[in-house]
C-alpha cells in the first residue's frame, strides 16, 4: 500500500523531506522507522494525518506519516 512520509529537523539529513512509499499491509510506525534507519529513542513525535500516534500504530493506505526527532521551542 502507498503512504506519504514527511520528515522534519535532523531526520531529513541524508534522507528526504517528503516521499511517497510503498509499504506492506499492516505495517506500523515502528516498521517505517526501521526502514528509515531511525531508532525509537530518537523519535520525538509521530503523527498520522495530524494526530499523535504511538509506534505500534498500524498504517492504512493513503495516510500521511509525519516524524519528528525530539525537538521543541516555546
Q: Which residues contact 31 (CB under 8 A, 6 or more apart)?
A: 23, 24
Mask for 27-66, x = binds other proteins (CB under 8 A): -----------------xx-x-xxxx-------------x
Does the protein bind other proteins through residue 8 (CB under 8 A)?
Answer: yes
Q: Considering the complex, what minimum distance in angstroms separates the CB of residue 21 from other proteins? A: 17
Q: Considering the complex, what minimum distance in angstroms separates the CB of residue 55 from other proteins? A: 12
**Site residues (CB under 8 A) for other proteins?**
6, 8-10, 12, 17, 44-45, 47, 49-52, 66, 68-74
Amino acid at each position: 500500500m502507498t503512504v506519504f512520509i514527511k520528515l522534519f529537523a535532523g531526520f531529513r539529513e541524508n534522507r528526504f523531506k517528503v516521499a511517497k512509499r510503498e509499504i506492506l499491509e499492516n505495517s506500523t510506525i515502528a516498521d517505517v522507522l526501521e526502514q528509515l534507519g531511525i531508532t525509537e529513542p530518537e523519535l520525538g513525535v509521530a503523527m498520522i494525518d495530524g494526530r499523535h500516534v504511538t509506534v505500534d500504530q498500524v498504517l492504512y493506505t493513503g495516510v500521511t506519516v509525519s516524524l519528528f526527532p525530539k525537538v521543541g521551542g516555546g
